Structure 1
């Protein structure tokens, strides 16, 4: 059969060389078709051969990242975006409840700072489990699986907590809550982080997390101190909120099946800064690769773990989330014991901290892409401001000054998590977004578990004032880690 060769010029992208696109095809009729397509991608070219005979199978293509979604491109997307925002309210309620309830848990269970700190540590098991299963859940069940499993884990945990079981059972219940948070963190950060205007949208998403975190200590403190509720009665309300989360999420994502997810998340080529982020020749990367290949195989999770960007974002989130939850978890105890505030006023300081995070995520989410050249530059500036505010919070021993400083500290801490997610989605290929962000969120959760636990354990011996130097030191470490991320200019993306 005679074949016809067609040469089509491929326009050069900015910063790339122009290469011809060569397609070999028959003029008509059936038969064996062989096509070789060569096209530029970033600074390199991707060569791919697709062949199929009559009755043969076609291999899934290696594609560049697809056109980003818009949150309002359809009514379905709007409903999904709103439901994920509500889900993040529940995440915020979960994480901020610890701080407001710790003094009452200590009294109810008659345990020390160290033992009570186990409720910070146990969710780590749930987060790690979610990190290792997130990609499997998406590939098999799609976003519908995440939309059902995450809220179901929340609902189970809060029902157990609401019946105020023995303390060891309470600790186990928080494992389920951690699993629910881990599923939601990975799924919805990856989905929204790849959208158009990701900075602003993630600012809203995490702003709703902050809203839940602000309302949680406010409602819990008011009900316990003013209405004489028991601490566990607060969870009656949380059970109802988690049930609504399950209904909203399942309804919104019911059609987001595994088949749809597999189709839209084919393996994509990395489009970062034009260089390989985790060179195969590096010995440390090879060791990590071999370990996780044995543990979880050669799937997308293993591919995500081999990336240097995944590890840098993960370690940064360990530090960041650890700071956030350590402050939110121990601020009430600190203000009562060190600043000598009343239980109600000290509870309001916790509300102010989470309110600062909420406002910061919304406002600075819009400021970041407009005022700074890149997310890297913006977060570096916010970290410097946070260090200065933490010093004032520590060194000025006045209740009202501390309350103002911790609220401002929350304001500048607020946009850092969304910014890290945006950087990860820009530097990593789309098909490993869920795996990479799930892994980073799980390690970030380890900071939320380990650092508050460490503060509690040390406070048992030295006093709760040790929170301040620990938080200051971790802020400095986070700044150093952030500077190690590859540069990513606003102009390039």
Structure 2
């Protein structure tokens, strides 16, 4: 009997649950850092090595997604990613030596990278890809919101290793679900249809091979090479690197900005910062359905969101008090929310069907570079010139995204 009783609904529900887990994984990290520093007796600079190790694993997974899907198919690729994550988190739960703890972050990053890239690629082939991908990434936001609360609560009566044990156990039923509900291959435009839309066979667990056009000469030379030669995909990768850099810069430095530039108390600044992440999550749930009702295309919706990001950053920059700053941060997150998943949804319009999984993997991996480099640069500028530069930087990055998006849209070809 198919998982959850509905063979078309099961893959969607499992994808959402997987992204909640990915969000939890991202959300618990900051809360666990003090416990890790104290337990291993290292400083903040040393513990920061774990971020680079995890990012390297994530980038490696992004570049390997296309070949992995071609060799193993959707079902086994997801099982590999989930299995590696389970083994890595179980190992961390055993409190390994610090060097091994750092090394295993490569596996954690690779496992989560495979899961995210494969599921993005699977849903990107859906007729309702924009809505589905926005919901998918909204559930990541749900996990990211719950992660700090869950970890902080557990640390009141359990060691930090217990948090990783819980995440490992939570992933086990997902791996079982991957093997039960997903197809060996992802039929283009079929298996990822919205579960609220009635449709007949083929079912997701049927061994149906995708109908893929004959590979061009460049594609035969290597999926990754072919993707990197595509100007549209390279532009989209840079676009997402800027996006993630902006998102994390505001998320990481917003608290300091509010305290130092707007004289907010730590408690008030914390609530406003939480409102930013809440806005990000709600934006992914609400904006895409609203845009569909208004008849906006994915390209048009992204233009509107980027305009909203720019206006919200200006509002937050000029905010005279807590109320306006709260609204500005919430709206900034709200309009940022749909941009990443929508960029994933238009990948089939940027390249050939065979290259879509590899393109999504590369975009996912390159986004990590922006997520590491731009927040670091923002902090360095804030250290020398003052943290007031956060919002002007956000405005500039939003305008850069507008320019990049215009070039991407010019290269779109309806699939």
Q: TM-score, normalised by structure 2?
A: 0.80
The 1-side partners of 2:228 and 2:212 are apart by 18
The 1-side partners of 2:264 and 2:278 are apart by 19
Cα RMSD (Å): 3.6
User: Structure 1 201/370 Cα, relative in aligned 2: closer, same or farther at 3 Å?
Assistant: same
Conserved? CA contact 2:279–2:334, under 8 Å: yes
Match of 2:141 among 210, 214, 221: 210
Match of 2:209 among 246, 253, 263: 263
Q: Which moved more, 1:303-312 or 1:231-240?
A: 231-240
User: Structure 1 163/336 Cα, relative in aligned 2: closer, same or farther at 3 Å?
Assistant: farther
Question: Does structure 1 residue 383 correspond to structure 2 residue 301?
Answer: no
The alpha-carbon deviation at position 360 of structure 1 amounts to 0.7
Q: Which has the higher helix share?
A: 2
Conserved? CA contact 2:26–2:144, under 8 Å: yes
User: Structure 1 423/413 Cα, relative in aligned 2: closer, same or farther at 3 Å?
Assistant: same
Question: Who is 1:355 aligned against?
Answer: 278
User: Structure 1 131/81 Cα, relative in aligned 2: closer, same or farther at 3 Å?
Assistant: same
The alpha-carbon deviation at position 414 of structure 1 amounts to 0.8
Question: Who is 2:178 aligned against?
Answer: 249
User: Structure 1 459/404 Cα, relative in aligned 2: closer, same or farther at 3 Å?
Assistant: same
Question: Who is 1:435 aligned against?
Answer: 358
The alpha-carbon deviation at position 480 of structure 1 amounts to 1.4
User: Structure 1 160/344 Cα, relative in aligned 2: closer, same or farther at 3 Å?
Assistant: farther
Indicate the structure (1 or 2) with the bigger Cα radius of gyration: 1
Question: Who is 1:111 aligned against?
Answer: 43
Runs of 5+ unmatched residues, structure 2: 188-205
User: Structure 1 463/219 Cα, relative in aligned 2: closer, same or farther at 3 Å?
Assistant: farther
The 2-side partners of 1:409 and 1:346 are apart by 15
The alpha-carbon deviation at position 105 of structure 1 amounts to 5.8
The alpha-carbon deviation at position 475 of structure 1 amounts to 2.1
Report the count of equivalent residues. Answer: 392
The 1-side partners of 2:266 and 2:38 are apart by 14
The 1-side partners of 2:80 and 2:130 are apart by 27
Q: TM-score, normalised by structure 1?
A: 0.68
The C-alpha deviation readout for 1:244-297, integer Å capped at 9, x for no partner, is 3323323323x5169988931523589xxxxxxxxx9xxxxxxxx8xxx9xxx7
Question: Who is 1:80 aligned against?
Answer: 11
User: Structure 1 203/340 Cα, relative in aligned 2: closer, same or farther at 3 Å?
Assistant: same
The alpha-carbon deviation at position 361 of structure 1 amounts to 0.9
- SS of structure 1 residue aligned to 2:8: helix
- SS of structure 1 residue aligned to 2:282: helix
Question: Does structure 1 residue 93 correspond to structure 2 residue 21?
Answer: no
Query: Equivalent residues in 2 for 1:419-458 (5 A)?
Result: 419-456=342-379
User: Structure 1 401/118 Cα, relative in aligned 2: closer, same or farther at 3 Å?
Assistant: farther
The 2-side partners of 1:421 and 1:480 are apart by 18
Question: Who is 2:191 aligned against?
Answer: none
- SS of structure 2 residue aligned to 1:266: coil
Match of 1:326 among 218, 224, 249: 249
- SS of structure 2 residue aligned to 1:196: coil
Question: Who is 1:65 aligned against?
Answer: none
The alpha-carbon deviation at position 330 of structure 1 amounts to 4.3
Conserved? CA contact 1:90–1:242, under 8 Å: yes
The 2-side partners of 1:155 and 1:343 are apart by 36
Question: Who is 2:151 aligned against?
Answer: 220
The 1-side partners of 2:7 and 2:298 are apart by 30
Conserved? CA contact 2:15–2:119, under 8 Å: yes
Q: Which has the higher strand share?
A: 1
User: Structure 1 344/379 Cα, relative in aligned 2: closer, same or farther at 3 Å?
Assistant: same
Conserved? CA contact 1:321–1:447, under 8 Å: yes
Conserved? CA contact 2:185–2:209, under 8 Å: no
The alpha-carbon deviation at position 382 of structure 1 amounts to 0.9
The alpha-carbon deviation at position 461 of structure 1 amounts to 6.2
Conserved? CA contact 2:233–2:350, under 8 Å: no
Question: Who is 1:308 aligned against?
Answer: 231
Question: Who is 1:35 aligned against?
Answer: none
The alpha-carbon deviation at position 443 of structure 1 amounts to 0.8
- SS of structure 1 residue aligned to 2:184: coil
The 2-side partners of 1:145 and 1:78 are apart by 19
User: Structure 1 246/331 Cα, relative in aligned 2: closer, same or farther at 3 Å?
Assistant: farther
Match of 1:142 among 52, 59, 73: 73
The 1-side partners of 2:177 and 2:303 are apart by 37
Query: Equivalent residues in 2 for 1:106-185 (5 A)?
Result: 111-112=43-44, 115=46, 117-163=48-94, 169-185=100-116
User: Structure 1 373/397 Cα, relative in aligned 2: closer, same or farther at 3 Å?
Assistant: closer
Question: Who is 2:200 aligned against?
Answer: none
User: Structure 1 212/439 Cα, relative in aligned 2: closer, same or farther at 3 Å?
Assistant: same
